[in-house]
Amino acid sequence: MQTIGAPGLILLVILALLLFGPNKLPELGRAVGRTFREFKNGARDMMADDDPAARRSERSDVIESKSDERRNLE
């Protein structure tokens, strides 16, 4: 299977700039990041044991990351 090389990556960035414009790209990047984070958290929850202490720890990580996001937006 072939990977996307540097020229392909540059072409994708140029195409994204043309389609979405420079003002929308940061917003789009944040949305993609949130989607990956939610997917990862959902997968972790599905794989987690029934250990309540582990779940509490994971929830506190999510709460901390959300509060960090809010601070960054202010």
What is the domain partition of the chain in residue ranges? Answer: 22-73
Contact 30, 22 (CB under 8 A): no
Q: What is the pLDDT of residues 8-28, one digit of tens each?
A: 989 988 998 898 888 888 888
Q: Measured between alpha carbons, how far is 67 from 20 in angstroms, rounded to an integer?
A: 29
> What single string gives the DSSP state of each residue in 36-57?
HHHHHHHHHHHH--S-HHHHHH
Task: Label residue 35 by pLDDT band (50, 70, 90).
Answer: very high
Q: Is 3 left (phi over 0), alpha (psi -120 to 50) or beta?
A: beta
